[in-house]
Chain A
Amino acid sequence: MGTTSYKCPSCGAGIHFKPELKKFKCDYCLSEYSEEEIANLYKDDEKSEDTHSTQEEVLHKHDVDEAHLQSYTCNSCGAQVVTDDTTTATFCYYCHNPVILSGRLEGEFKPKKMIPFAIDKEKAKSSFLKWAGNKKFVPKDFTSSSQLEKITGVYLPYWWVDTKAQVDYLGEGKNIRVWRTGDMEYTETKKYEIVRQGELDLNNVGEVAFTKIDKSLLNGILPYRESETVDFSMPYLSGFFAEQYDITKEEAEPMIEGQINRYYTYMINDLVSGYDKVDVIRDGIEIKDKEWNYTLLPAWILTYKYQGKTYVFAVNGQTGKSYGELPLSNKRLGSAFGIIFAATFLLLLLGGILIW
């Protein structure tokens, strides 16, 4: 398995994807390149590197297998890159150059689609602060900047499914009208036959394909703007972390299936409108086609340790939406409780004197 590091074509330093520019920029010589330029440049190199690293793999892999870690070699400085078993993009510990474990992005692990990062670290920090700033009872140092420096950008794996369905729907709609004339009340019931036939496409129905971060946390930063999805391109990973899926297609299928069925029901309901009451005689949804897309989505992840508990937060790497369980300062909340208690107590005493 190989590693890839994208380097500046001008000066040879490690190059990062900059979300705010939507381009690659060298920190040293300030050259800018588009994703296309970089990808084309490395197209030819990929093959030779692959063979080169296959040898490396033979050399390095066996001695770390027991530790369940795999080692790769940084192609900038030659140091070993030690990673978790699902990591696909990281940084070299020694030279801090971005390292992409391209060997882990092949075959069944080759992502099909992705949404590149659209907000950078600074913006992620500010949207996180904006969200957390509404909460008054977090510990004092929680929103400090040294704390926020630890925020990291990660591409997380998702399963996305595109489906097509044939619809042959039959229903009975009822409209009820009531009016009065003098002492008489009239009720008119009109029944309609509703027929809907055609095709419904439903795309990008997703499930998280990663167990190491709490699913409800990641659901909290949804939705992404699916329209900005691009085909997977490895250079986008340069400068970020990336993870491989550890929930297989088969494991995710029942959940995806449930979602698909639900959304098709909603879509049919949208098609039938203008009735007081609808009885479904036959919903006739036949799902014909399912296409699975292994998709990488961007998120900024922050962890914070408070009173022995680790809190994890996520910021949507595209929209900036933040989510997570906030630590609660018992001191701050306790004093608020005290104030409210005292105020109510005094108010009730005052009521005792003046009213009852």
Chain B
Amino acid sequence: MVIKNIYRRFIVITLFIVLFLFNSIVVGAFKELVFDEAGLFSSEERVSLETEANDLSEAYNMDIVITTTNDTGGKSSMEYADDYFDYNGFGQGPDYDGILFLIDMDNREAFISTSGLGIRYLTDQRIEGVLDEVFDSGLGDGDYYGASQGFLRKTRQYLEAGIPSNQYSADEKEPNRITIFDMLIGLVGGTATGGIFYGSTKSSYKLRNPGNPFSYRNNSIVNVVPGEDRLIDSIVTHRIIPRPPKGGGSSGGGRSTTHRSSSGRTHGGGGRKF
């Protein structure tokens, strides 16, 4: 009886463990990637988006997240999207590869935040391309499901196309505050320009020897026989002009502008009001 009891317990525990493991595997394979906090999607739409986002995430090993909100808590769309991505633990690998699509009903803005490899895939130009697709798919008309589908469709297309060969990342300039260094530059620059003015004015008031501006042309008589100059020699030489090697190239279109989010991580991205 006791042994039977122990046996049963063992089975229950094993079952629990198996269930738990299985469950975790399921969760690992099917991650929640759509967060409809503004309630813009029906449950069928949500499932459909979730499936597609998961499919894309698995194929490219990055988190493709779709989120909506009615209240950003005073944040801009960019801050909200970046923070949502960072603080909810999205991003795969050491660089937190991923792309987040935010429909911000508070600021009425669609925003794409990229991270890690996502920054490299979605250059500034491509983000504009995705946003074009999102707006063409009916964001302005309230078709949020269509817009999200548009996002996934265009993103997939770009991911399939790979990272553009001329892609590069450039940090967006942060707004600055006056630092002691700025003060120092100001002081040095002010003293320098003021000093140059002071010095040059002072020296221009000084007496300089102007030389003797005598005009010999007005005070001379020239009586010289004008003679024909005789040609005594004429030589022609030649050489082959070396051709300069062709070189150079063009750049442009490959820029990914990045900025730093509140967590200190680097994001790319861009948005558009609707």
**Could you tell me which A residues sit within 8 Å of B by CB distance?**
135, 137, 167, 172-173, 180, 183-207, 214-217, 219-220, 222-223, 226-227, 259, 263, 266-267, 270-271, 323-328, 333, 336-338, 340-346, 348-349, 351-354, 356
- Asked if residues B232 and A206 are in contact (CB atoms below 8 Å), the reply is no
- Asked if residues A267 and B183 are in contact (CB atoms below 8 Å), the reply is no
- Asked if residues A223 and B214 are in contact (CB atoms below 8 Å), the reply is yes
CB distance from A32 to the nearest CB of B (A): 32
**Could you tell me which B residues sit within 8 Å of A by CB distance?**
176-179, 181-183, 185-187, 189-195, 197-198, 201-202, 205-225, 227, 229-241, 243
A348–B159 CA distance with the chains assembled, in angstroms: 45
- Asked if residues A352 and B185 are in contact (CB atoms below 8 Å), the reply is yes
- Asked if residues B216 and A189 are in contact (CB atoms below 8 Å), the reply is no
A205–B224 CA distance with the chains assembled, in angstroms: 21
Beyond A185-B238, A333-B202, is A348–B209 a contact (Cβ under 8 Å)?
Answer: no
Residues in B with CB closer than 8 Å to A173 are 229
A194–B226 CA distance with the chains assembled, in angstroms: 10
| New contact pairs (9) apart from A186-B238, A263-B220, CB-CB < 8 Å | A173-B229, A190-B231, A200-B220, A200-B221, A270-B217, A341-B193, A352-B181, A352-B182, A352-B186
Beyond A187-B238, A188-B234, A337-B194, is A200–B223 a contact (Cβ under 8 Å)?
Answer: yes
- Asked if residues B239 and A184 are in contact (CB atoms below 8 Å), the reply is yes
Q: List 13 A-B contacts (CB under 8 A).
A: A135-B205, A187-B238, A198-B222, A201-B222, A219-B210, A267-B216, A271-B224, A325-B207, A337-B195, A342-B190, A348-B186, A349-B183, A352-B183
Q: Chain A binding site: helix, strand, loop or mixed by DSSP?
A: mixed
- Asked if residues A259 and B212 are in contact (CB atoms below 8 Å), the reply is yes
- Asked if residues A220 and B207 are in contact (CB atoms below 8 Å), the reply is yes
Residues in B with CB closer than 8 Å to A352 are 176, 178-179, 181-183, 185-186
Residues in A with CB closer than 8 Å to B179 are 352
A198–B224 CA distance with the chains assembled, in angstroms: 4
A87–B181 CA distance with the chains assembled, in angstroms: 66
- Asked if residues A263 and B241 are in contact (CB atoms below 8 Å), the reply is no
- Asked if residues A349 and B241 are in contact (CB atoms below 8 Å), the reply is no
- Asked if residues B234 and A323 are in contact (CB atoms below 8 Å), the reply is no
A203–B205 CA distance with the chains assembled, in angstroms: 33
- Asked if residues A324 and B207 are in contact (CB atoms below 8 Å), the reply is yes
- Asked if residues B208 and A216 are in contact (CB atoms below 8 Å), the reply is yes
Beyond A197-B224, A202-B220, A267-B220, is A340–B197 a contact (Cβ under 8 Å)?
Answer: yes
CB distance from A192 to the nearest CB of B (A): 4
CB distance from B179 to the nearest CB of A (A): 7
Beyond A198-B224, A200-B224, is A187–B183 a contact (Cβ under 8 Å)?
Answer: no
Residues in B with CB closer than 8 Å to A214 are 207
A219–B208 CA distance with the chains assembled, in angstroms: 10
Residues in B with CB closer than 8 Å to A263 are 214, 216, 220
Residues in B with CB closer than 8 Å to A340 are 190, 193-194, 197
CB distance from A195 to the nearest CB of B (A): 5
Residues in A with CB closer than 8 Å to B220 are 200-203, 263, 267
- Asked if residues B186 and A345 are in contact (CB atoms below 8 Å), the reply is yes
- Asked if residues B205 and A326 are in contact (CB atoms below 8 Å), the reply is yes
A205–B187 CA distance with the chains assembled, in angstroms: 53
Beyond A267-B222, A328-B202, is A188–B236 a contact (Cβ under 8 Å)?
Answer: yes
Residue ID in chain A nearest B227 by CB atoms = A195
Residues in B with CB closer than 8 Å to A195 are 227, 229-230
A201–B217 CA distance with the chains assembled, in angstroms: 10
Residues in A with CB closer than 8 Å to B202 are 328, 333
Pick from B187, B198, B211, B229: contact of A345, CB below 8 A.
B187
Of A191, A197, A226, chain B has the most CB atoms within 10 Å of the CB of A191
Beyond A185-B238, A222-B212, is A205–B225 a contact (Cβ under 8 Å)?
Answer: no
